């Protein structure tokens, strides 16, 4: 089997052992692949692995031997599923590998806001000049007793909720008509008005759909407490970024922790990238990327290929 990994640098930077993939066929890894490079690179491929590299209908047609496309991720928006289905190509993905990592990232945001560690760290070298033994320049607070509002109670939302409960927080869930959440039925599902106005933190974990795009906007931000924080480790377009930047500057909410933006990498004129708000923390889509999560992802990719070769493909979407 000729296996082509179109964007291997999205999985590892030399810190993972890819021998598990090499044992399944002849592996060719490309660090990244532009769309113009893809047709030539997959022309003789039996199996393609992609994280972000586009497998469009045109690119699929350029690979007459192609039998399997493995998304090195949970999402498959980089793959034209209809074209793959029409060409009788199996598409598979890997789910669940990043759940503890993303939940951990959410809580890193929460604890940094509560303790103000980023702000104190910036000033730590000036400590010898402090007039007292400590600093009260950036007020801190306990997370115990605060309310975490979760939008989207799937696997990651539930893992985040469990961490919050362990820290003594109250947890509530936004009641949405199209929600399919069945996990943790003991948590309160409350309507939007009460949800936004009573949450001290709001964490986004819902899928991106036409009904959730721009869910966080001027109206919903205006319903939040001025002391509340917004956290997004889900999908960037869940937030109207111009509205969030305006809300931060106006003091409508206290701060935001973002691991995703509407386009990635973001445009240099993105209003959130341009913001110097002291309570805005942005990480470059790293919540999923712990070593352990990437090891689980690699194992999932290998399992999908191995099961395909054995004639009983798993995690198939087409």
**The pLDDT value given to residue 107:** 98
Retrieve residue 307's tokens.
Answer: 């099961």
pLDDT tens-digit series, residues 219-277: 999 999 999 999 999 999 999 999 999 999 999 999 999 999 999 999 999 999 999 99
Residue 292 phi, psi dihedral angles, 5° rounding = -65, -40
| Cα dist from 179 to 151, 176, 231, whole Å | 9, 5, 19
Active-site amino acid positions: 235, 264, 285
- Report the mean per-residue pLDDT for the chain: 96
Residue ranges of the alpha helices (H) in the chain? 19-22, 38-41, 57-61, 81-86, 99-115, 117-122, 155-166, 192-198, 218-223, 241-250, 271-274, 291-309
**The pLDDT value given to residue 177:** 76
pLDDT tens-digit series, residues 243-257: 999 999 999 999 999
Q: In order of start, what are the domains of the chain with their CATH numbers?
A: 2-97+291-309 (3.40.50.720), 99-282 (3.40.50.720)
94 pLDDT more than 80:
yes
Q: What is the mean pLDDT of residues 61-89?
A: 96
Strand partners, 281: 257
pLDDT tier, 182 (very low <50, low <70, confident <90, very high otherwise): confident
180 pLDDT more than 90:
no
Q: What is the mean pLDDT of residues 82-89?
A: 97
79 pLDDT more than 80:
yes
pLDDT tens-digit series, residues 132-155: 999 999 999 999 999 999 999 999
């Amino acid at each position: 089997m000729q296996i082509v990994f179109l964007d291997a640098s999205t999985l590892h930077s030399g810190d993972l052992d890819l021998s598990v993939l090499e044992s399944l066929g002849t592996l060719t890894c490309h660090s990244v692949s532009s769309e113009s490079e893809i047709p030539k690179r997959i022309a003789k491929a039996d199996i393609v692995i992609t994280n972000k590299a586009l497998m469009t209908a045109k690119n699929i047609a350029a690979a007459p031997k192609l039998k399997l496309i493995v998304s090195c991720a949970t999402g498959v928006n980089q793959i034209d599923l209809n074209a793959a289905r029409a060409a009788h190509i199996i598409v598979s993905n890997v789910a669940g590998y990043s759940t503890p990592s993303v939940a951990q990232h959410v809580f890193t945001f929460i604890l940094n806001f509560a303790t103000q560690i980023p702000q104190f760290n910036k000033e730590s070298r000036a400590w010898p000049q402090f007039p007292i033994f400590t600093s009260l320049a950036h007020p801190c607070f306990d997370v115990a007793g605060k309310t975490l509002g979760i939008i989207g109670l799937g696997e990651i939302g539930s893992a985040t909720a469990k961490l919050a409960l362990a820290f003594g927080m109250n947890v509530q869930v936004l009641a949405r008509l199209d929600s399919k959440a069945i996990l943790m039925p003991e948590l309160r599902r409350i309507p939007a008005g009460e949800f936004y106005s009573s949450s001290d933190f709001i964490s986004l974990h819902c899928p991106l759909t036409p009904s959730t795009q721009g869910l966080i906007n001027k109206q919903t931000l205006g319903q939040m407490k001025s002391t509340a924080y917004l956290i997004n480790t889900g999908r960037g377009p869940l937030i109207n970024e111009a509205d969030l930047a305006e809300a931060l500057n106006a003091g409508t909410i206290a701060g935001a922790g973002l691991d995703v933006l509407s386009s990635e990498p973001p445009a240099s004129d993105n209003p959130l990238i341009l913001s110097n708000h002291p309570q805005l923390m942005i990480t470059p889509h790293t919540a999923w990327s712990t070593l352990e999560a990437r090891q689980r992802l690699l194992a999932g990719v290998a399992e999908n290929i191995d099961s395909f070769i054995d004639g009983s493909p798993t995690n198939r979407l087409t």
